[in-house]
A and B are shown apart, each in its own frame.
Chain A
Amino acid sequence: MSEITAEQVAHLANLARIDLSSEEIARLTTELGQIVDSVAKVAEVATPDVPATSHPMPLTNVFRADTVVPSLSVEQALSGAPDRDGDKFRVPAILDEE
């Protein structure tokens, strides 16, 4: 059995800005534990001669030429913004007063 704890799930939820109830945390603790166990089984059969990979395609060096393409218009860019001020995105205060 994995060692995923409710504290870890709550910590992750906080980092990911996901608001979870204590019931949801309990359920996810079990489910994430099962996922970690399943992945651990894969690790059992993976031998050192199988390199770790982060991408399913055996490709490297896919580059784009350094050529400018048109950007969005300012109106398009801001169309999904919850708030704006002129041509800028407006966001709530980031830090509290010192």
Chain B
Amino acid sequence: MKKAELMDYDKALELFEPVLGFEVHVELNTKTKMFCGCANEFGQGANTNTCPTCLGLPGGLPQVNAQAIESSIRLGLALGCEIAEYSRFARKNYFYPDTAKNFQTSQYDEPIAFDGQLTIELESGRLVTVDIERAHMEDDAGKLTHVGGATGRIQGADYSLVDYNRGGVPLVEIVTQMIEGGEADSPEIGRTYVAAIREIVKALGVSNARMEEGNVRCDANVSLRPRGSNVLGTRTETKNVNSLRSVERAVRYEIQRQAALLHAGGTITQETRHWHEDTGITSAGRPKSDADDYRYFPEPDLVPVAPSREWVEELRATLPEPPAARRKRLQADWGFANLEFQDVVNSDLLDAVEATIAAGAAPQAARKWWTGEVARLANVSGVSADSLVQPAQVAALIELVVAGTLTDRLARQVLEGVIAGEGTPLEVVESRGLAVVSDDGALIAAIDEALAAQPDVLAKIRDGKVQAAGAVIGAVMKAMRGQADAARVRELVLERAGAAE
């Protein structure tokens, strides 16, 4: 593949103003497909979830999934959209092997949701309001595998294979208005916008929101306007950019590529481009042409969707706290520094840390365990940290550390046991015998030393202020490197101090 000339990013911005637009496809996590009762799930064998309707066989008739409508309306509302009083499906006609019906059932001039707004916050603190043109419902295409040729890509393949399990799965496509004034922040705006959409659909619970599995997919439109001109440049549409980092890279790449081409006197072709994750470049797909004459017309097999205002208000009442507001609230509640909080957010551990704190752990301890040891173990096994262990278990582990039953070192071993399915932290402590040395002689020596070092505490204990013993217990635990039974230490401290229980 020919590598395109790129202009230095700063120079590109000196000469041109980037104009952006995004189309984000969100796969809904309904139990069934959009228009038939086939299961909306993958991972089983190919073509196991198909029927005459989603295969486009003669006689197949679509029936609208009520849950998909509800999810779409809630998503529209969360994006600040108006919900249409009257909305229709339309056929988008084209021939492509991943679409067995030879049309996609989509929406054209009457989308379910329109005119929304989403304000995102960049790392610099800059707020950018992205106008949402529309959010419409449609069905997904099947999955193609390209066989033969050098690269396994569509170009040069000998033939392709189709699995229609994904065909007919409900999607919401969210389309922005043109985003101007992004300037040097343009790539970050792309990444942050898609991250915000992802966070919203996750909070709503309408999608599994896993980008690596294609639950959220982004098409990035980029064009450049020469400084001093008010004429929009020709745009390219980079398809299926499927990670947050890739959105940022793809936008930046297109700015640099288009700038070099325009500056050298070339012209931009209006085309779709493919993003290559491995090499970090885009390559030309098909040019916009006759093939994009989709001849939309209202879907004759479906009646209009006309959500009552009462229903819309009922659904509005079910909306969760907006993720951006929630983040602000949680950071303030937990007292995390920006970097600490970003670490949690970027690791996708906000829910896990929140649940762990709710289960009784101190915020800093919850953060430390999740972004530290749990994340490390998850990384080793190549899974997400929050799938490795339950927040309640992490909270229980932290409690054992705080109580002095475990040192951090022992607790890491206990965590491994919990992850290995050996039971709760307490059960692992018992079964693995991880807590404690209880050689009274060694403990008594350490206690006497600690009491001698803290005569004021000793006096308090003797006065009956038994809770003051905590300071001595802490010192002893430290001296024993945590491998002492805190309860036994407490007993001995009181005994040595001469206090009655």
Residues of A within 8 A of B (CB): 11, 14-15, 17, 54-55, 57, 59-69, 71-72, 74, 77-78, 80, 85-98
Stretch at the interface among B120-128, B297-305, B377-385: B297-305
- Structural contact, A15 and B93, CB atoms closer than 8 A: yes
- Structural contact, A71 and B51, CB atoms closer than 8 A: yes
7 contacts between A and B (CB under 8 A): A69-B51, A71-B39, A72-B51, A88-B145, A96-B155, A97-B155, A97-B156
B86 partner residues in chain A, CB cutoff 8 A: 60
> Closest A-chain residue to B149, C-beta based?
A97
- Structural contact, B63 and A72, CB atoms closer than 8 A: no
- Structural contact, B46 and A86, CB atoms closer than 8 A: yes
B290 partner residues in chain A, CB cutoff 8 A: 11, 14-15
Stretch at the interface among B64-72, B433-441, B455-463: B64-72
> Closest A-chain residue to B154, C-beta based?
A95
- Structural contact, A60 and B156, CB atoms closer than 8 A: no
Q: How many A-B Cβ pairs are below 8 Å?
A: 142
Selected from B1, B38, B48, B160, the residue in CB contact (under 8 A) with A91 is B160
Selected from B50, B95, B307, the residue in CB contact (under 8 A) with A77 is B50
B63 partner residues in chain A, CB cutoff 8 A: 62-64
A60-B303, A71-B48, A94-B96 known, 7 other contacts, Cβ within 8 Å: A62-B302, A66-B32, A67-B32, A87-B163, A94-B97, A94-B160, A95-B155
- Structural contact, B162 and A88, CB atoms closer than 8 A: yes
Q: How many residues of B contact A (CB 8 A)?
A: 62
B501 touches A (CB below 8 Å): no
- Structural contact, A71 and B158, CB atoms closer than 8 A: no
A74 and B38 in contact, given A88-B161, A95-B155, A97-B155 (Cβ under 8 angstroms): no
B57 partner residues in chain A, CB cutoff 8 A: 80
B41-75 vs A, Cβ < 8 Å mask (1 yes, 0 no): 00001111111100101000001111111000000
3 tightest Cβ-Cβ pairs between the two chains A and B = A54-B298, A69-B37, A63-B66
A64 and B45 in contact, given A11-B290, A89-B162 (Cβ under 8 angstroms): no
B273 partner residues in chain A, CB cutoff 8 A: none
Residues of B within 8 A of A (CB): 1, 30-32, 36-39, 45-52, 55, 57, 63-69, 86, 88, 93, 95-97, 144-147, 149, 154-164, 283, 286, 290, 293, 295, 297-300, 302-307
Most buried by B among A11, A74, A95: A95
> Closest B-chain residue to A76, C-beta based?
B50
Selected from B95, B97, B306, the residue in CB contact (under 8 A) with A61 is B306
A63 and B64 in contact, given A11-B290, A68-B39, A93-B157 (Cβ under 8 angstroms): yes
What separation, in Å, do the CA atoms of A72 and B55 have in the docked complex? 10
A55 and B303 in contact, given A68-B37, A80-B57 (Cβ under 8 angstroms): yes
What separation, in Å, do the CA atoms of A57 and B146 have in the docked complex? 44
- Structural contact, B307 and A61, CB atoms closer than 8 A: yes
B286 partner residues in chain A, CB cutoff 8 A: 95
- Structural contact, A62 and B64, CB atoms closer than 8 A: yes
- If over half of B's interface residues share one DSSP class (helix, strand or loop), that class is named, otherwise mixed; here it is loop
A94 and B154 in contact, given A17-B95, A71-B49, A88-B47 (Cβ under 8 angstroms): yes
B31 partner residues in chain A, CB cutoff 8 A: 66-68
A97 partner residues in chain B, CB cutoff 8 A: 149, 155-156
> Closest B-chain residue to A88, C-beta based?
B161
> Closest A-chain residue to B299, C-beta based?
A54
- If over half of A's interface residues share one DSSP class (helix, strand or loop), that class is named, otherwise mixed; here it is loop
- Structural contact, A66 and B68, CB atoms closer than 8 A: yes
A57 partner residues in chain B, CB cutoff 8 A: 303
B306 partner residues in chain A, CB cutoff 8 A: 60-61
- Structural contact, B46 and A74, CB atoms closer than 8 A: yes
B64 partner residues in chain A, CB cutoff 8 A: 62-64
- Structural contact, B88 and A54, CB atoms closer than 8 A: yes
A80 partner residues in chain B, CB cutoff 8 A: 57
- CB of B422 to closest CB in A, whole Å: 35
A89 partner residues in chain B, CB cutoff 8 A: 47, 97, 161-164
A64 partner residues in chain B, CB cutoff 8 A: 37, 63-66
- CB of A75 to closest CB in B, whole Å: 10
> Closest A-chain residue to B110, C-beta based?
A54
Most buried by B among A60, A86, A87, A88: A88
- Structural contact, A94 and B157, CB atoms closer than 8 A: yes
A86 partner residues in chain B, CB cutoff 8 A: 46, 161
> Closest B-chain residue to A57, C-beta based?
B303
- CB of A85 to closest CB in B, whole Å: 6
A61 partner residues in chain B, CB cutoff 8 A: 303-307
A71 and B88 in contact, given A91-B97, A98-B1 (Cβ under 8 angstroms): no
What separation, in Å, do the CA atoms of A68 and B30 have in the docked complex? 10
- CB of A96 to closest CB in B, whole Å: 8
- CB of A9 to closest CB in B, whole Å: 14
Most buried by A among B47, B63, B97: B47
